[in-house]
Chains A and B, each alone.
Chain A
Amino acid sequence: GDSVTQMEGPVTLSEEAFLTINCTYTATGYPSLFWYVQYPGEGLQLLLKATKADDKGSNKGFEATYRKETTSFHLEKGSVQVSDSAVYFCALMGKLQFGAGTQVVVTP
């Protein structure tokens, strides 16, 4: 069945550092891929998405590219801020499967 695997956290960074969170998937066909973010005490919010191979999703300085050849959808941001501290989830739209989540902590 469909599944998503993402890197374990927590990931601790200093402000202005480069962030990468790895995500790989297993699926039949070419489902849409998503990154969601969850701030403390809140529900999940869509961060970005890509609906087909080679699509690049971007939002708030975050980017991810749908790589069919490596079945990956890694999340990147060039310069993180303290306000980016949150849990990030990779997901694919089959039955909307989620990865385990990666906690990111950004320190001043």
Chain B
Amino acid sequence: NAGVTQTPKFQVLKTGQSMTLQCAQDMNHNSMYWYRQDPGMGLRLIYYSASEGTTDKGEVPNGYNVSRLNKREFSLRLESAAPSQTSVYFCASSEDGVGGHTEAFFGQGTRLTVV
């Protein structure tokens, strides 16, 4: 029972490089989320997808793009990485979306360092 799987687990990028963080869930959930976690800041929502084919901005979307490829997969792309994007990134999914009542399940995280 894999749940939410994120790849890669660790990544070091140079400023200006691009990369895509992958996320897949096997629970047939409708909604998926991308968060970043920084010391003292808790989790901040970058983007979310309430259902296949839809995406919406969260609290800190600048510098990121997302794709909801199908119901299972939700990827996060950094087009031109900056040191301020050094963070731990978490993907999550939930059966319900905005305004719903079901809990979210989280991946193990991707630790990204931009030098």
B104: chain A residues within 8 A (beta carbon) = 46, 96
B48: chain A residues within 8 A (beta carbon) = 95-96
Partner of B101, one of A36, A46, A93, A98: A93
Contact B90 A43 (CB under 8 A): yes
Interface 0/1 of B93-115, CB less than 8 Å to A: 01010111111111111000000
Contact A31 B107 (CB under 8 A): no
Question: B12-20, B35-43, B66-74, B75-83: which lies at the A interface?
Answer: B35-43
Partner of A32, one of B33, B44, B101: B101
* Residue of A whose beta carbon sits closest to that of B4: A43
Interface size on B, residues (CB 8 A): 27
Total A-B Cβ pairs within 8 A = 59
* Residue of B whose beta carbon sits closest to that of A50: B101
Find residues 39-60 in chain A having any chain B CB closer than 8 Å to their own CB. 42-46, 49, 51
Cβ of B45 < 8 Å from any Cβ of A?
yes
Instruction: Give the complex CA separation of A6 and B41 in angstroms.
Output: 12
Q: Per DSSP, are chain A's interface residues mostly helix, strand or loop, or mixed? A: loop
Partner of A51, one of B35, B44, B101: B101
B44: chain A residues within 8 A (beta carbon) = 98
Instruction: Give the complex CA separation of A96 and B100 in angstroms.
Output: 9
B33: chain A residues within 8 A (beta carbon) = 96
Contact B101 A43 (CB under 8 A): no
Contact B45 A94 (CB under 8 A): no
Cβ of B58 < 8 Å from any Cβ of A?
yes
Instruction: Give the complex CA separation of A95 and B58 in angstroms.
Output: 8
Contact B109 A43 (CB under 8 A): yes
Partner of B42, one of A43, A49, A101: A101
Which B residues have a C-beta under 8 Å from some C-beta of A? 4, 33, 35, 40-45, 48, 58, 90, 92, 94, 96, 98-109
Known A-B contacts: A43-B109, A93-B94. Give 20 more (CB < 8 A).
Answer: A31-B101, A32-B100, A32-B101, A34-B103, A36-B106, A43-B107, A44-B90, A44-B106, A45-B106, A46-B104, A49-B103, A51-B101, A93-B101, A93-B103, A94-B99, A95-B58, A96-B92, A98-B44, A99-B42, A100-B40
